[in-house]
Amino acid sequence: MRPSTRDRILTSATDLFGLRGVDAVSLDLIATDVGVAKQTLLYWFPSKDELLEGVLAQAAAELVLVIDAALRSAPDEPLERLDAVVRAVFRPAVRRPALLGLIREVSRLPAGVAEQLTGRVQPLAQRAHAYLQAEMNAGRLRRADPGLIAALCYATVTGIATEPEALRVNGWEPSAAGLRRLRDELRAFLRAALAP
């Protein structure tokens, strides 16, 4: 079954926004990509801002879902759980690089949209914070500021996923084997950074 026009618009907009940046992508471009008139697009999302909002809401929801699932099925050991999250995030991030690129756009968004989005992610961050704190107290993680550690892990993962240039400069290439190696190095890097 073919997805609805609305969904096709969301998918296309997510990819284009994430890949080229929100400002660089015109409604006309998205419409062409979807194969529909611009006004159809404006019928579903009355303005570019609302389209962006929809795109972000969907992407955030998806990400939260993926992470949640990974955590639920991971063993009760902090480094293993971290591993599970990285693996879980890595797959969709590689298949659709736009997803993380999109998140990187947040800092440039109008305040309202940004807040709405951060609000959606906040619960996740708070859970992570509490969890990290507990594990640090239990001596299973290196003692540090849990909030900053969470932010640093996030920065490392999104940073490496959204900056292919940095990888290319360092002689990496995006083959299947390269991706595996990158994923494993990333996991080892974070493990080492967090191990007690």
Partner DNA sequence: CACTCTGTCTACCATATGGTAGAGAGCAAT
Partner DNA sequence: ATTGCTCTCTACCATATGGTAGACAGAGTG
Binding stretches for DNA (CB under 7 A): 5, 25-29, 36-40, 42-44, 46-49
Count CB-CB contacts under 10 A for residue 1.
Answer: 3
Stretch touching its own copies by CB under 8 A, among 47-55, 63-71, 78-86, 142-150: 142-150
Q: Does 5 bind its own copies (CB under 8 A)?
A: no
The nearer residue to DNA, 40 or 156, going by C-beta atoms, is 40
Number of residues that bind its own copies (CB under 8 A): 51
DSSP 106: G
Instruction: Go through 28-45 and write b for each residue having 16 or more CB atoms within 10 A of its CB, e for each that does not.
Output: eebbebbebeeeebeebb
The nearer residue to its own copies, 8 or 81, going by C-beta atoms, is 81
Q: Does 134 bind its own copies (CB under 8 A)?
A: no
Contact of residue 122 among its own copies, DNA, none (CB under 5-8 Å per partner type): its own copies
Compute, in degrees rounded to 10, the torsion defined by CA atoms 143, 145, 151, 156: -40
Task: HSE, CB side, 13 Å, CA atoms: give it for residue 142.
Answer: 10
Distance CA 177, CA 193 (A): 24
| Interacting residue ranges for its own copies, rule: CB under 8 A | 20-21, 23-24, 104, 106-108, 114, 118, 121-122, 125, 129, 142, 144-145, 147-152, 154-156, 158-160, 162-172, 181-182, 185-186, 188-190, 192-195
